[in-house]
């Protein structure tokens, strides 16, 4: 391990060998396979986070999921948030490692445990993946997931119409739609728009659709 100074951020940052990053990622991939098989994400993935790690993903234009610290990550991010996804698989397709930044970007898919009538997989379309910041000792200090929320919603609708959507996921969707409170770990990025703002935004879209301007 060596210490370097980033040209943009003058604070010293620790760097690690590519071999250590690769070893950690290999362990993570194996842990994911075991978590999928056992339906237990906390036991297998929890040890990969530092005590002060931050895990987040975006949930739309004004909503973000954030879990801070290993305890909250285990309870909410890979605990509560994974309920209802028993049997789903998340095969990794490509892993990119930058040992200078101590960061990894990995692309994965989201595949439901049932198939369509034609034999094809129910799978979230678009790109999905995670960005990891390595924190040493075989653990992540930060993780940010990215996926196409529109495609997730579309797949949930298809699964529901075909009678394959998990009751737990149905309950979460109903809670999100019917309740004014956010789901655990979710927070607004800024104050929600007022009714007047919603009307103004809707009118602007209607004008664009009808008049092209």
- Give the Cα separation of 46 and 79 in Å (integer): 10
Domain count, the chain: 1
pLDDT at 27 over 50: yes
Task: Name the burial class of residue 103, with classes exposed (0-12), middle (13-18) and buried (19+) by CB atoms within 10 angstroms of its CB.
Answer: middle
Question: What is the rounded average pLDDT of the residues 183-207?
Answer: 79
Across residues 120-134, what is the average pLDDT? 96
Among candidate residues 129, 120, 90, 106, the one with its CA nearest the CA of residue 24: 106
Query: What is the mean pLDDT of the segment spanning 100-107?
Result: 97
The residue-averaged pLDDT of 71-78 equals 98
Asked if 36 and 90 touch (Cβ cutoff 8 Å), the reply is: yes
**143 in helix, strand or coil?**
strand
Average pLDDT over every residue of 37-60: 96
pLDDT of residue 142: 97
> What digits encode the pLDDT tens for the residues 140-160?
999 999 999 999 999 999 999
Residue 166 domain boundaries:
2-211
Q: Domain holding 129: CATH number?
A: 3.10.450.50
> Is it the case that residue 9 has pLDDT exceeding 80?
no
If one counts every other C-beta atom within 10 angstroms of the C-beta of residue 107, the result is 15
Say yes or no to pLDDT of 183 above 90.
no
Rounded to whole angstroms, the Cα distance separating 178 from 185 reads 18
Query: How much is the mean pLDDT over the chain?
Result: 90
């Amino acid at each position: 391990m060596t210490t370097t100074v980033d040209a943009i951020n003058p604070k010293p940052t620790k760097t690690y060998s590519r071999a250590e990053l690769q070893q950690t990622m290999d362990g993570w991939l194996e842990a994911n396979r075991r978590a999928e098989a056992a339906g237990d994400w906390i036991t297998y993935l929890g040890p990969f986070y530092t005590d002060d790690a931050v895990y987040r993903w975006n949930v739309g234009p004004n909503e973000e999921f954030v879990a801070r610290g290993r305890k909250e990550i285990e309870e909410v991010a890979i605990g509560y948030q994974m309920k209802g996804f028993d049997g789903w698989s998340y095969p990794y397709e490509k892993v990119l490692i930058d040992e200078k930044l101590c960061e990894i970007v990995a692309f994965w898919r989201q595949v439901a445990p049932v198939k369509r009538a034609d034999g094809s997989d129910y799978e979230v379309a678009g790109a999905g993946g995670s960005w990891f910041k390595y924190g040493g000792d075989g653990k992540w200090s930060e993780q940010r997931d990215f996926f196409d929320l529109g495609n997730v919603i579309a797949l949930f609708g298809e699964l529901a119409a075909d009678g394959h959507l998990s009751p737990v996921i149905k309950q979460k969707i109903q809670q999100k739609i019917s309740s004014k409170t956010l789901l655990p770990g979710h927070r607004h990025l800024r104050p929600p728009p007022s009714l007047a703002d919603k009307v103004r935004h809707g009118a602007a879209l209607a004008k664009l659709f009808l008049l092209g301007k």
